[in-house]
Every structure is written in C-alpha cells, then in structure tokens.
A and B are shown apart, each in its own frame.
Chain A
Amino acid sequence: AQTVTQSQPEMSVQEAETVTLSCTYDTSESDYYLFWYKQPPSRQMILVIRQEAYKQQNATENRFSVNFQKAAKSFSLKISDSQLGDAAMYFCAYRSYQGAQKLVFGQGTRLTINP
C-alpha cells in the first residue's frame, strides 16, 4: 500500500519570504499523480497544484511550485512571496494511475505566516 509522509507538523515564514514544505511517499508503482491541497480555517480543501509522475518538468501555479524527485520519492512544495492568505494546513496526496485511484493523504503541515 502507498503511504505519504509529511515530516514537518508546523512551519512558519515571514510575509513575502519563501518557504518549502516537504513530502515523501512510498510506492512500487511507476505511474501516479501527486497533489498539494490547502485547508484554510474555513475547512475547505482547495487544490493547490498537481504533478503527473511521467512528466519530468516540475509543475508551477503562480507563486506555487513543486520539486518532484521521482527516484527519491520526494515532492516538496515551494511558496514564493508568502502572503497572509497562504496560512493554512497543507496536505500532500498521492493517487495511483490505475486501480482504486483513491487519494492517500499525508498528515499535513500547518503553515503560519508572520507579518
């Protein structure tokens, strides 16, 4: 079974600075998808970014980018120019390309933005 590990329960960053959230995963599959979701205090789960394992190019969405290292099974999220609205829980998630295709989530990282 696949597992996802986020080793940083909490992180903090100064507004306008850059922060990187770590995620590692364990799988024997070669095709899969990886996601970062954001959960603000409103509780809504919001998709931040997705990465297909077959793509070598790292995904980017405005101030959010990932560093996908397939061999190391690492999938970190970099947030540039941090804003107060970025404060939230961030969850890394894995989904198989085939089979049940359910999302497997990490434990989450709580990100605090200091003004």
Chain B
Amino acid sequence: DADVTQTPRNRITKTGKRIMLECSQTKGHDRMYWYRQDPGLGLRLIYYSFDVKDINKGEISDGYSVSRQAQAKFSLSLESAIPNQTALYFCATSDFYLGQETQYFGPGTRLLVL
C-alpha cells in the first residue's frame, strides 16, 4: 500500500462549489504539506502543518483552507472553487530529525473547475 494517499485522484467541479481534497499517510510523519502544480511550473506551497496543532500559510493560500484532523490526515478545502484553481494538487509528508528531512509526495489530485 502507498505511504501517502490522496482522494480523489481526479475531480471535476463547477465554479462556486465547495470541494475537499483529502490526504492520508501511514509513514508516521509529523509534517504535512499541500502543493499546487500548474502546467509548465514547479510546485508551489499552499499550506503546511508541523503537527496537529500547527497550521501555516504557504505562498499561495488565498482561496484555500486546511484541516489537520489527526497526525495522519490533512485536508485541503476550496470554499468556493474558481476556474484558476484548476491544477494538480499534491500532498507531501516529512519527518524532521537531526536536521535531516526529505518530503515524500502523494500521487496527486487533478482538479478541473468549470
């Protein structure tokens, strides 16, 4: 089984709809991240969480919210979807120990907002 899973893998929604993307991990990591990837661009950070009680905005958090329900679960919500939120969304996890950290990514969720 995959260590980092994302649901759904693909989603089509309409402008103005609320949508939630879910991420679960079995790696036991404290740190979780949500990124967005647009065509021809690298990933950009939306939100990140270093533990269940810690939520931080990334560089493009406007229009998004997150919830860290448990160490293993980190959800991303679009309260009112708009077409320019059409993108590929990645969840990632990492464990930080003695200055060493590597992020491991889920398979991505492709979102289309009509």
Chain B residues lying within 8 Å of A75, measured Cβ to Cβ, are: none
- Cα A84 to Cα B107 in complex, Å, equals 21
Question: Which of A12-20, A61-69, A92-100 is the contact stretch?
Answer: A92-100
Chain A residues lying within 8 Å of B48, measured Cβ to Cβ, are: 100, 102
Among A43, A46, A91, A103, chain B packs the most CB atoms within 10 A around the CB of: A103
Number of residues from A at the complex interface, CB < 8 A: 24
Are A45 and B90 neighbours in the complex by a CB distance under 8 Å? Answer: yes
Question: Which of B11-19, B22-30, B35-43, B64-72 is the contact stretch?
Answer: B35-43
B74 at the A interface (CB under 8 A): no
- Cα A103 to Cα B93 in complex, Å, equals 12
Mark each residue of chain A from 35 to 66: 1 if its CB lies under 8 Å from any CB of chain B, else 0: 10100001111110010000000000000000
Among A43, A93, A97, A106, chain B packs the most CB atoms within 10 A around the CB of: A43
A4-B42, A47-B104, A103-B33 known, 11 other contacts, Cβ within 8 Å: A37-B105, A43-B107, A44-B105, A44-B107, A50-B102, A101-B96, A101-B101, A103-B43, A103-B45, A105-B42, A107-B40
Residues of B that sit less than 8 Å from A by CB = 33, 35, 40-45, 48, 56, 58-59, 88, 90, 92, 96, 99, 101-105, 107-108, 110
Q: Which 6 A-B pairs have the closest CB atoms?
A: A105-B42, A45-B105, A43-B108, A105-B43, A102-B45, A44-B107
